Amino acid sequence: MRLGEILKESTVICDIKGGTKKKVVALLASRLKTAGLINDIDPVVRVVMERESLGSTGIGDGVAIPHGKLGGSGQIMCVFARSRKGVDFDAVDGKPVHIFFLVLAPEDSASLHLMALSRISRILRDPSFRRRLLEMPDDARVLYQSIVEEDEKY
């Protein structure tokens, strides 16, 4: 699986404005609804916040990968968002999060879910790529293409 298969240009947010963890999760879910991938954001927010209660998905270095498994979903879905201001997401390093990837998978797809998380983690391990993502213009097409191209290197 490649990130280009689960992330769409229509699910890229150039500068997310939420100031809290729950608000960011709701805005990420709203993008899935706007893109026609879900009908209701409430189940997404509930699933992701339940996962967050087990431990923050703010993995440090300005990155968070909130995720969960959604009943009734027939496909794995992904949203990328960037926050220029940064959000307190209870990251393990205590720093604000600027780069978000929301991953939602069907309940019965553990291997796809883990594969998506692994691919995202791999591209975000590179500090120069994280820096480039933050410096790019507010253009969803450019951000999307950069993420897909970076993923294709692996």
Cα–Cα distance list, 1 to 112, 152, 154 (Å): 8, 10, 11
Is residue 67 among the annotated active site residues? yes
DSSP 59-105: EETTEE--EEEETT--S-EEEEEEEEEEE----TTSPPEEEEEEEEE
Partners of 122 in beta bridges: none
Catalytic residue, candidates 67, 82, 98, 113: 67
Phi, psi of 95 (to 5 degrees): -95, 160
Alpha-carbon distances, residue 87 vs 55, 75, 90, 126 (angstroms): 17, 28, 9, 21
Catalytic positions: 67
